[in-house]
Amino acid sequence: MFSFSLTHRVAYYETDTMGYVHHSNYVRFFEIARTELMRTAGLSYAELEASGVMMPVLEAHCRYHQPARYDELLTLKATVRETPVTRIHIDYEITNEQGLTVCTGSTSLAFIDAATRKPRRAPDDFVRRLDG
């Protein structure tokens, strides 16, 4: 299991007229957490793509527990629970400053060869780092 957390302050443009984070932004928050989780595991998206590997999103799920508001400091947590082979599944939890769960969700992504667009195995060095 490999987890990574970071904080994100809700910007005004991420909210709707009620002052709540617009529902579409939670998937963006997942992407921020996923990108930083990968970087922490030693492989940035830029490096991955430069090596000829792409990661399209196959599924995204989101469950809203309570609204987040403008200027709140959120904690974005991403967790990989299983060793990736040709796909990677990532779970997310977003909490507010009071430690209350705002949103949970998950994404599944495939590893594909950039030239052929065919499935391929996850890069060995990335898998080793996730397995710690």
Runs of H (alpha helix) within 1-132: 25-40, 45-50, 124-131
Q: Is 16 among the catalytic positions?
A: yes
Contacts of 101 (CB under 8 A, 6+ apart): 65, 66, 93, 94, 95
Catalytically active residues are: 16
